[in-house]
């Protein structure tokens, strides 16, 4: 048992090194700060002419979504991005939501949109779908 | 089939599971981070550290289980990780959370059935490692003076 414990310690040490190396190679693999470009629901509701995007999975969107929201997620980017270009007016804000506070999908979609559209006015909704539910703006999944 | 081969097969199967799980996480660390946050037990900074550390640990453990290098230590860590994971999933079920386990990419846990299935899967892996350990120990006889 003592041997197993020592080996465990060695494995943990080696894993820590590998983890640190992984961070050194890809420090941006996970976002370091979520508060950047995050917007509260109350503030988002005040944005004039805002376009709302649903970054959840296709099945979630099909089940229920905010009225007027378009589907755009990383899995089917092209399928969602082309319709977005048809309706988006340059200069108008975009609000992206995903499932909850812990969801990062909206941050990833918002960041990619800022890059591809060349605008800074793309926000990630704080609280996501859960915040919309609590505010009574959407109903629980129909399924 | 000899006891030694049987225990290696069990270790290899569990190692393969861990290897695949690590591969998925390494490919998309931010999705794994997102999954960790749904456990509602880790702070953002803790989850960020785990997003880098956990896949690394899984890779090393998988390698050790399959290759035989430091296998006993890897088996001990595997048992600990599986027990920890079962505990984390159980707390999610008891708190009524909708979690994404992050085991092999997107894996939503919403119903009690989802939770029980996930815990069952990990229990099978746990039994496989424990079984391999026992078979290996019996086939080798008592450990040399190691403590």
Is residue A142 included in any domain, yes or no? Answer: no
Both A52 and A76 in a single domain? yes
A81 found inside a domain:
yes
Q: Which of residues 35-74 of B touch A (CB under 8 A)?
A: 37-38, 40, 44, 48-49, 51-53, 55-57, 59-61, 64, 70-74
Q: Kindly state whether residue A141 falls inside one of the protein's structural domains.
A: no
Only one residue has tokens 């370091």, namely A32
Residues A68 and A129 in one domain: yes
Asked if B129 is an interface residue toward chain A (Cβ–Cβ < 8 A), one would say no
Is there a single domain that holds both residue A76 and residue A58? yes
Q: Where are the alpha helices (DSSP H) in chain A?
A: 2-25, 41-45, 58-63, 77-87, 105-117, 128-134
- Domain of A92, in residue numbers: 38-134
User: A46 and A6 in one domain?
Assistant: no
Please indicate, yes or no, whether residues A54 and A16 belong to a single structural domain of this protein: no
Residues of A in contact with B63 (CB under 8 A): none
DSSP string, chain B: --HHHHHHHHHHHHHHHHHHHHHHHHH-HHHHHHHHHTTS-S-HHHHHHHHHHHHHHHHHHHHHHHH-TTHHHHHHHHHHHHHHHHHHHHHHHHTT--EE--SSS--EE-SHHHHHHHHHHHHHHHHHHHHHHHHHHHHH-SPPS--
Size of interface A-B (CB pairs under 8 A): 97
> Of A5, A30, A102, which has the smallest distance from its Cβ to B38's Cβ?
A102
Question: Hey, what are A58's tokens?
Answer: 């296709």
Q: What is the mean pLDDT of residues A46-61?
A: 91
Question: What is the domain count for chain A?
Answer: 2
- Tens of each residue's pLDDT in chain B, 147 residues: 688 888 999 999 999 999 999 999 998 888 888 888 888 888 888 989 999 999 999 999 999 999 999 999 999 999 999 999 999 999 989 988 878 877 776 677 878 888 999 999 999 999 999 999 998 888 876 655 443
- What integer is the mean pLDDT of A68-86? 92
Q: Is residue A143 part of a domain?
A: no
- CB contact at 8 A, A58 and A80: no
CATH of the domain at A125: 3.40.250.10
Give the model's pLDDT for residue B146: 47
| Residue A6: pLDDT band with limits 50, 70, 90 | very high
Q: How near does any CA of chain B get to the CA of A74, in Å?
A: 11
Same domain flag for A77 and A127: yes
A75 and A127 in a single domain? The answer is yes
Whole-prediction pTM: 0.72
In this structure, the answer to whether residues A77 and A94 fall within a common structural domain is yes
d(CA A81, CA B61) in angstroms, rounded, equals 41
**DSSP conformation class of A23:** H
Residues A71 and A93 in one domain: yes
Residue A73 to residue A105: CA distance in whole angstroms: 8
Residue A140 within a domain: no
Residue A8 domain-assigned? yes
Q: Same domain, yes or no, for A75 and A5?
A: no
Give the pLDDT of residue A114: 93
Q: Is residue A125 part of a domain?
A: yes
Q: How far apart are CA B107 and CA B85, in angstroms?
A: 14
Backbone angles phi, psi at A124, to 5 degrees: -105, 130
CA-CA distances (angstroms) from residue A5 to A8, A83, B67, B93?
5, 57, 18, 32
Look at residue B144 in the predicted model and tell me its pLDDT: 53
Same-domain status, A127 and A79? yes
Å between A134 CA and nearest CA of chain B: 16
Mean pLDDT of the region A21-49: 86
Flag whether pLDDT at A143 surpasses 50.
Answer: no
Specify which residues A38 forms β-bridges with.
A124
| A95 within a domain of the structure (yes/no) | yes
């Amino acid at each position: 048992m003592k041997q197993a414990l020592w080996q465990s310690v060695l494995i943990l040490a080696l894993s820590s090194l590998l983890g640190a190396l992984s961070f050194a190679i890809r420090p941006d693999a996970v976002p370091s700060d979520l508060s950047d470009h995050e917007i509260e629901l109350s503030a988002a509701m005040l944005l004039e002419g805002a376009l709302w995007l649903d970054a959840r999975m296709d099945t979630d969107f099909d089940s229920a979504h905010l009225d007027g929201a378009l589907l755009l997620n990383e899995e089917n980017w092209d399928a969602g991005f082309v319709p977005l270009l048809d309706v988006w007016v340059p200069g108008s804000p975009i609000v992206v939501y995903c499932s909850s506070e812990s969801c990062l999908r909206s941050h990833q979609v918002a960041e990619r949109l800022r890059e591809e559209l060349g605008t800074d006015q793309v926000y990630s909704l704080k609280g996501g779908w859960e915040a919309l539910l609590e505010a009574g703006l959407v109903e629980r999944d129909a399924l | 089939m000899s006891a030694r081969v049987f225990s290696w097969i069990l270790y290899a199967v569990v190692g393969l599971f861990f290897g695949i799980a690590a591969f998925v996480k390494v490919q998309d660390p931010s999705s794994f981070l997102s999954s960790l946050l749904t456990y509602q037990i880790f702070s953002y900074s803790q989850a960020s550290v785990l997003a880098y550390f956990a896949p690394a640990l899984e890779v090393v453990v998988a390698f050790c289980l399959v290759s035989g290098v430091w296998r006993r230590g890897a088996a001990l860590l595997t048992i600990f990780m599986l027990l920890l994971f079962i505990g984390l999933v159980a707390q999610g079920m008891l708190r009524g959370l909708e979690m994404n386990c992050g085991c092999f990419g997107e894996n939503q846990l919403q119903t009690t059935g989802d939770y029980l299935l996930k815990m069952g899967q990990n229990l099978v892996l746990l039994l496989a490692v424990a079984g391999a350990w026992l078979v290996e120990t019996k086939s080798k006889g008592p450990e040399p003076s190691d403590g």
